[in-house]
Structure 1
Amino acid sequence: MKQWWFIILLIISFPLKADNIFVEAESFDYRGGWVLDNQSMGQMGSPYLLAHGLGVPVENASTVIRVENGGKYRVWVRTRDWVKQWGQTGSPGRFELLLNGKALEVTFGTERAEWHWQDGGTIRLKAGENRIELRDLTGFDGRCDAIFFTSALEMLPPDGKEELAVFRRNMLGLPANPEDAGEFDLVVVGGGIAGCCAAVSAARLGCKVALIQNRPVLGGNNSSEVRVGLSGLIAQQPYPNLGNLVDELGPVGHWNNWEAKRDSSSVRSRQIMKILRRYPEKKIHNAGPASNYEDEKKLALLQNQENLNLFLNTQVVDVKKNGNKIVSVIGKNIISGKEYIFKAQLFSDCTGDGEVGFLAGADYRVGRESKEETGEPRAPLTPDSLVMGTSVQWYAEDTRDISVFPDCPWAIRFDEKTCIPITRGDWDWEAGLNNDQITEIEYIRDHALRAVYGNWDFLKNKSEKKEQFAKKELAWVAYIGGKRESRRLMGDFVLREQDILNDIQYEDATFTTTWGVDLHYPKPIPGMKEEPFLSYCDVQDIKPYAVPYRCLYSRNIGNLFMAGRDISVTHVALGTVRVMRTGGMMGEVVGMATFLCKKYRTDPRGVYEKYLSDLKTLMKQGVGKSGFPEAGSID
């Protein structure tokens, strides 16, 4: 403990002994072609800029620093060589730091596999304004966390997680206490389809709501960043008005063949088929054009919703409790680093990762339960940590002329037997089923990138079929992974596979799940020694099943709801409820239950125990607009 406080005192006193300038890469005035990645913020301590150019160097990122005392400074850049963790050489994430238009002699992203401070040597800064730039050299995912200039030439900035957090706060001059963001009836954390629906549902019923989303766009897996289509049927018995709100948010074309066959007689299905005939590009369910996922539509709906306050680019990093109830959450702006405190009577964890519940000490599970515990037909004999993984989707486009793609000797190596001669990587380009989807997400995403780049390199440059790919260009590869499973927060009821297959009816039935019990497993490629980056699915078809309300709140945190893939189900049962239209209906129900909690001054469990009939009335009424929104504009 004495050593820890000594380190803090050193860090705090350090700026008084030297001239220091600390620059977070994510706060650059102009990002150019670099993108903001905060997926591993909980592990490495910060968001960072990523040069995701698919083999073409991206435009420089730039900012201006103001120097009080010109002179000699040492420069440190926090970065990593991302392929070294696989023993690969070549440093595909190389980049340069430019000072007032001139590159430093050091090339960054070349030294170590882990995040660290790379020494950039000594430079001269002039008094006044100095322009710094990040110049990508490869287009292959170079990454920069922060830059530190110091006149104390022998000083190395700290790199331990706790010490670095204190150092960042001190260097940036951030206040010790978070700024008050307000007090709400409901704080929803997570702006995927489930979170958006929870927030809008509660707001339309008169509750004051805050929606906190850690990305610049809404929709989660259904955003243009990830590009997964909406699946699952809505408007089902016993509450056919549940799901109308999902349609207000959801892109019109996300209606795949499986769903159309199951609902081919409905008016809604016929309307959608008209749209798909008129706009054929919307038939692409996953890994389609960015416009298919209609980020602007989601944003406009939430920004214009009365009683709803939207906080984008905000990552929840802490939770404050009183007894077994949450009283506030702390959100950090991923660009400025400023922290805000959000107070509420009720909270809903729609993060997918169960992050709020985890921070609050909620009961949770990860991986597969045993058959002995759950009695499920498809549960394994012994419990394990296998989960459904993260998809990194991609696609290529036709070009008029021959296009080139760089050699990628550091990527996964393919040959004629192992290569995959396709131009679209769909959901089954799924990695990390044997990894921790939270603590190892950067590793999982990077492993998937090595697979995409290595396969495309072989098809373009080495394959017997390379002429077929000569006029095809890699056009889009996700850098934000599309997760399926991580933590599941335990409620008063844990849904099991046999509840669904045997159609066991419960008095608190709410939203209806229609997707098959769809479980994913790693799919190794024969002859390849690398860990799997593909998956296969095993689907058990079901009849529509209404899921108990008790799956939507925590059993040990008294004011915590859940909606989305982190609700109270077993690993096997997650296979059916995890799709996004189904998650959206969960959110609608959570919003309704929030209204009842406020009206009757009760908690989520109290709604089940005393006001279930009121909840049923609200579910019959619904909160969304009836009818399919775009239908009127279709011939």
Structure 2
Amino acid sequence: MSCKQLSALILMIAMIAPAKAEQVLVEAESFDTYGGWKLDTQFIDTMGSPYLLAHGLGKPVANASTTVTFPSTGEYRVFVRTKDWVARWKAPGQPGRFEVVVNGKPISETFGTKGAEWFWHDGGVVQIDQLKTTVELNDLTGFDGRCDAILFTQDGAPPPNTSDILPGWRRERLGLKEKPTEKGGYHLVVIGGGYAGMGAAISAARMGCKVALVQNRPVLGGNGSSEIRVWAMGNIRRGKYPRIGEIVEEFSDHATKSPGTYEEFEDAEKEAIVRAEENIDLFLNHHAFQVEMDLDSIQAVHAFDTRTGEVKRFTGRFFADCTGHGTIGELAGADLEMTPKGRMGMSNMWAWGESDAAVDFPETSWALDLEMDDFPYPREHHGQWFWESGFDKDPIDGAEAIRDWNLRAVFGAFNAMKNREGADEHRTAFLTWVAYVGGPRESRRLLGDVVLTKEDVIEKRDFKDGCVPTTWSIDLHYPKEKYAEKFPDNPFISKAVHDRRIDRNYGYPVPYRCFYSRNINNLFMAGRNISVTHEALGTTRVMKTCGMMGEVVGRATSLCILHDCLPRSVYERYWDEMHELLLLPGKARRDTVDAKIEIPDDAMTAANDQGMSTGIDPASLPGIVIDDSQAKKTGPWRPSISLEGFVGASYVFSHANDNATIRFAADAPRTGKFAIRIAYRPHANCGDRVPVTVSIGDETSTVIVNMKTPPSEGVFHTVGRFEVQEGTPVAVTLATEGAGGDVHADAVQIVPVGN
């Protein structure tokens, strides 16, 4: 066959062979305008993609719209990835209904009406007459319809229904680059933009580190943003390092209620504070989903833009998992734990207002079937923190179901208020806000060189590297029995059980060794995913405390860069330097990690190391007063200011089994008769047989003091009257052995008395 004949044959075959079917994939998150739809990125790791949510509180939201360029006109079959979000409970009704509108005309199928799980809903065939065509999402209910993506295809086959993130077929149809965009040269890559992530990024940047801050939401603040509206709790600027918390103070909300108002959370102000730092590159709307490893070290984290799908590859020396869920640690193979049952759940708070006229609310047959007695009345027009569920549900893979159950509870409660026995009282009531972004409290916890326990906190175990003051009580949440009877499988109202044996003023210093992974060499963590037990998480999880963890991680990173070492070495070899860094003001800064540190004029005034509380000035008391800070101690003695009426900056205490002593010493100022008194703070946990030994020169005597009862003279308790000669050594020693409980030691007073 000649070349000419072969060419003709190839041309004929090409003409006979069918042309490749055209396909156009439209990701909902890439729409030109969202209208009233919300971009939901909470469940990417389990369902594979961001999606648009029609969260209208019972009123249809404005259309989302975009312009789609087709390769050719003609007939296309339409597939929409969606679900009927109440079908998993076989609930009646279909609250998430919506239409796909092509060039102003709805296609025949209504979506959000089938499927308990995400799937490609076949919408039938549509005629495309123009290469540039408008496509809209038309919400029909206002009750949380959801759309992941739309596929227009000429081959009639549905696409793979995979929950992988950006699978190959999606990347190909979206025209995404095969290789990710490189973002490198960072000293620290922080994943998660809540209080912990912001604290870590700002702290590291001010200490001369180049930082990438990657956040998968459009705003910063996490639970403390306008999306979730949990007011920031936990005392700051106190304890061993009273400067820690100054960075948190710069960006913390000032909400007066939880949930607060949109304005109180100051999303724009948080972003402005971060962007003002030249050493921080901020990447909002970027979801981290892949980790590259080299043995036991992270080499890179991949994150994609949740609006465009573009993947970026972040490389750096160190990484900080501030995701709350321990996502980066889990991907990297970090040692971790997750309590199997009885975890704290997820909350979705809500609020309602009053109109001047009657306001209708649709019947919600698909919501939880509630009467007014089935839930606590929302006082002050707020459904507060206790609207919480998911205690025994999977907080990762089951997160969307937990959120949706919470929504069913909220809408069911409001239906009872509007359409059932509460109707007369609530004629003018209308919903003003319902959180669609859940407020999770507990999931994975990454393990460090120290796993902090409840006993450590209560007994005030002294760690050399204790640094972040935790002041919240050990606050654990459980289903509230009164409201759990109707829905025992997943109660939606919680109660808080507090163990208040926490020094709320001084704070218990959480060790630095809880803030880095014990098996991933270059991974820090800060936030609710640090190295603690389930019970200890009850005190460390609140936002200001998490933010202070981030401040510590940021400063530790600068030492790791300066000394070319790993996080563990900061504790083992460079803690003296870390100690000095932690005493610096929050606004202290340097251009590079080896540059001179500058303190700007607008640095905050230093807080008192006891949380800005003060005790009785020893100089105001008669006689000789020896404060606990001047005493010689053996064994563990822990400072506290939780019981008022102490002398000086604090008092100290030790436990009965600590084998500890504390010795107060002075010389008699003159010859005469003196009363020897001890100051202590009485408490039910104190011993009733505390041995107090008084030494006058070579003579000693021991008295037993009941520290459960108040001192005999108010602040002081007399342990004896003694004749002494001028210059004679006088010593008072308190011991824990045989005390029968805690021993409190505050001060000793030597005061002259009459004959």
Say yes or no: TM over 0.5: yes
Larger displacement relative to structure 2 (118-127 or 483-492):
118-127
* More displaced stretch, 315-324 vs 48-57: 315-324
* Alpha carbons 2:484, 2:492 under 8 Å: kept: no
2:110 corresponds to which residue? 107
Q: Which one of 364, 370, 373 corresponds to residue 408 of structure 1?
A: 364
Q: CA RMSD in A?
A: 1.5
How many residues matched? Answer: 567
* 1:447–1:526 Cα change, 3 Å: closer
Q: Which amino acid in structure 1 is aligned with residue 105 of structure 2? A: K
Match of 1:172 in 2: 174
Residue 398 of structure 1, CA deviation: 1.5
Conservation of the 8 A alpha-carbon contact between 2:70 and 2:132: yes
Letter in 1 for 2:571: Y
Choose the corresponding residue for 2:245, options 227, 243, 246. Answer: 243
**Partners of 1:390 and 1:173 in 2: CA distance:** 37
Partner residue of 1:587?
550
Q: Report if the CA contact (8 A) 1:421-1:459 is conserved.
A: no
Matches of 1:97 and 1:448 in 2, distance apart? 27
* Residue among 315, 325, 328 paired with 1:356: 328
CA-CA distance at 1:68 after TM superposition:
2.6
Could you tell me which residue of structure 2 aligns to residue 424 of structure 1? 382
Q: Closer, same or farther in 2 for the Cα pair 1:419/1:388, shift >3 Å?
A: closer
Contact 1:93 1:143 in 2 (8 A): yes
- Aligned residue for 1:623? 586
Opposite residue 36 of structure 1, the aligned amino acid is: L
The equivalent residue for 1:602 is 565
Which of 491, 499, 516 in structure 2 is aligned with 1:532? 491
Distance 2:292 2:27 in 1: 27
1:454 aligns with 2:426: no
User: Which of 175, 182, 185 is 2:184 aligned to?
Assistant: 182
Check conservation: 1:419, 1:459, Cα contact below 8 A.
Answer: no
> Could you tell me how far apart the structure 1 residues matched to 2:19 and 2:474 are?
61
Contact kept, 8 Å, 1:435 with 1:444, in 2: the verdict is yes
When structure 1 is superposed on structure 2, of 401-410 and 618-627 the one drifting more is 618-627
Aligned partners of 1:418 and 1:527 also within 8 Å:
no
- SS of residue paired to 2:228: coil
Match 1:551 to one of 511, 514, 518: 514
Letter aligned with residue 512 of structure 1? P
Change in 2 beyond 3 A, CA 1:119/1:554? same
Q: Superposed, which structure 2 residues align to 1:29-178 within 5 Å?
A: 29-152=32-155, 154-162=156-164, 165-178=167-180
Counterpart for residue 20 of structure 2? 17
Amino acid of the residue matched to residue 31 of structure 2?
F
Return closer, same or farther for 1:173/1:555 CA change in 2, 3 Å cut-off.
Answer: same
2:191 is the counterpart of 1:214: no
Q: Which runs of 5+ in 2 are unaligned?
A: 1-17, 588-601, 607-755
Q: Does the aligned pair in 2 maintain the 1:247–1:628 contact within 8 Å? A: no
Given residue 29 of structure 1, which amino acid in structure 2 is its aligned partner? D
**C-alpha distance in 2 between matches for 1:399 and 1:332:** 43
**Is 2:433 the counterpart of 1:476?**
yes
Letter in 2 for 1:146: A
Q: Counterpart in 2 of 1:327?
A: 299
Higher strand share: 2
The more displaced of 448-457 and 423-432 is 423-432
Give the match for residue 232 of structure 1.
Answer: 234
The answer on whether the counterparts of 2:448 and 2:518 sit within 8 Å (CA) in structure 1 is: yes
What is the deviation of 1:214? 0.6
1:503 aligns with 2:460: yes
- In structure 2, what residue type is equivalent to 1:239? Y
Unaligned runs of 5+ in 1: 1-14, 255-282, 368-383, 630-635
Take 1:163 and 1:234, find their aligned partners in 2: how far apart are those partners?
Answer: 39
| Deviation (angstroms), 1:563 | 0.5
| Residues 568/94 of structure 1: CA separation in 2 closer, same or farther (3 Å cut) | same
Aligned ranges 1:341-420 → 2 under 5 Å? 341-367=313-339, 384-420=340-376
Q: 1:565 to 1:628 in 2, by over 3 A?
A: farther
Residue 526 of structure 1, CA deviation? 5.4
Distance 2:579 2:487 in 1: 54
Q: CA deviation at 1:89?
A: 2.3
**One-letter amino acid matched to 1:441:** A
Amino acid in structure 2 at the alignment position of 1:534: I
- Asked if structure 2 preserves the Cα contact closer than 8 Å seen for 1:321 and 1:327, the reply is yes
Query: What is the CA–CA distance in structure 2 between the aligned matches of 1:63 and 1:526, rounded to whole Å?
Result: 45
User: 2:420 & 2:219 partners in 1: Cα distance?
Assistant: 38
Which residue of the partner structure matches residue 616 of structure 2?
Answer: none
Cα deviations by residue, 1:176-203 (Å, 9 ceiling, x for unpaired) = 2211012200001000011001000000
SS in 1 for 2:524: strand
Q: Which AA in structure 1 matches 2:383? A: G
Deviation at 1:419, TM superposition (A): 4.3
User: Do 1:561 and 1:590's aligned partners in 2 also have CA atoms closer than 8 Å?
Assistant: yes
> Quick one: distance in 1 between partners of 2:19 and 2:499?
65
Contact 2:44 2:165 in 1 (8 A): no
Higher gyration radius (CA): 2
Q: TM-score, normalised by structure 2?
A: 0.74
Q: Report the AA paired with residue 394 of structure 1.
A: W
Which one of 612, 628, 634 corresponds to residue 575 of structure 2? Answer: 612
Structure 1: distance between partners of 2:230 and 2:491? 21
- Give how far 1:164 is off: 7.4
> Measured at CA, do residues 526 and 564 of structure 1 come closer, stay the same or move farther in structure 2, by a change above 3 Å?
closer
Q: Give the Cα separation in 2 of the matches to 1:556 and 1:419.
A: 45
Aligned position for 2:653: none
Report the 3-state secondary structure (helix = DSSP H, G, I; strand = E; otherwise coil) of the residue aligned with 1:397. Answer: strand
Secondary structure of 1:158's counterpart equals: coil
Aligned counterparts of 1:197 and 1:181: Cα–Cα separation in 2: 22
- CA-to-aligned-CA distance 1:465-490 (integer Å, 9 cap, x gap): 32221111111000000111100000
Q: Of residues 392, 400, 419 in structure 2, which corresponds to 1:442?
A: 400
Distance in 2 between residues matched to 1:526 and 1:228, nearest whole Å: 24
Pairwise CA distance, 1:497 = 0.7
Q: 1:213 to 1:163 in 2, by over 3 A?
A: closer
* Residue type at the aligned position of 1:409: S
Q: Contact 2:49 / 2:166 at 8 angstroms: preserved in 1?
A: no
- TM-score, normalising length from structure 1? 0.87
Q: Distance in 2 between matches of 1:308 and 1:193?
A: 16
Q: Distance in 1 between matches of 2:463 and 2:485?
A: 49
Deviates more, 1:527-536 or 1:109-118: 527-536
Output the amino acid matched with 1:135. N
1:65·1:129 contact (CA, 8 Å) conserved in 2?
A: yes
- Alpha-carbon contact 2:47-2:164 (below 8 Å) kept: no
**1:545 CA displacement:** 0.4
Pairwise CA distance, 1:509 = 1.1
Structure with a larger share of its residues in helix: 1
Return closer, same or farther for 1:562/1:527 CA change in 2, 3 Å cut-off.
closer
Relative distance call for 1:527 and 1:75 in structure 2 (3 A) is same
For residues 216-260 of structure 1, what are the alpha-carbon distances to aligned partners after superposition, in whole Å with 9 as ceiling and x for unaligned?
Answer: 000000000000000000011111111010010112x24xxxxxx
Distance 1:385 1:549 in 2: 28
User: Which of residues 260, 282, 294 in structure 2 aligns to 1:310?
Assistant: 282
Q: Distance in 1 between matches of 2:242 and 2:603?
A: 10
Q: 1:126 to 1:498 in 2, by over 3 A?
A: same
Cα distance in 1 for residues equivalent to 2:428 and 2:140? 24
3-state SS in 1 of match to 2:456: helix
